Amino acid sequence: MNALYHGSSQIIRIPTYGKGNPNNDYGLGFYCTREPELAKEWACAEDEDGFANQYMLAAEDLTCLHLNGKGYHILNWLAILLENRRFELSSPVSVRGRQYILDTFLPDYKEYDLIEGYRADDSYFSFSRAFLANGITLEQLRRAMRLGKLGEQVVLRTKAAFEAVSFIEAIPVDASVYHIRRLSRDRNAREDFKKMLTETPTGEEIYISTIINEKWNNDDPRL
């Protein structure tokens, strides 16, 4: 049994399968975290009190795609993000980059009961756009995703996954504390990102244009 937390403005005793926003990071699903403090921040997206809903997940018979685990890399994560989130593509290289990543690095993720990986908050979403626009390198994107210690999210995608969670409690969250923490985390990530851009690059500088021109594939050892 695993504890999961879902931050919301409401108490959600029974998550509803098939309900929600299909344009979230990993598509339609119920988005949770293993970290109660992060759930409290997510509960206060606006300056209003909310709840960190706690559940127990019986995951023994469920399949899980762990995007930060062995066999996967940052471009697999980005490919899923590109398929689900709405991106404004501002340049020809962004258009080419999006299509190349989707064609080359998109894993077969839709049959998994659970997906675990990075969460693309506003700042992290902007880092992904910068990479697509040839503005930052692959290594900078990897580093950027660790800024702000955003943590990972766990997404329930299938009916079996929804049936495997049981509600424990709804923890009240004070927005005067956690909304500020949420804003601070995002602000710190953006500030750290700006500092990173001023640093002298180390190692080989790989941009999205490099990956396209050299025809990298999913088994490239540089990934």
pLDDT of 81-118, one tens digit each?
999 988 778 789 999 999 999 999 999 999 999 999 98
Closest CA to 139 of 55, 101, 70, 196: 196
Residue written as token pair 């995002």: 186
Q: What is the mean pLDDT of residues 167-193?
A: 92
Q: What is the pLDDT of residues 68-82, one digit of tens each?
A: 889 999 999 999 999
User: Residue 57 pairs with which residues in a beta bridge?
Assistant: 2, 165
Residue whose entry in the numeric block shows the structure tokens 């759930």: 39
The pTM of this model reads 0.91
Distance CA 190, CA 7 (A): 23
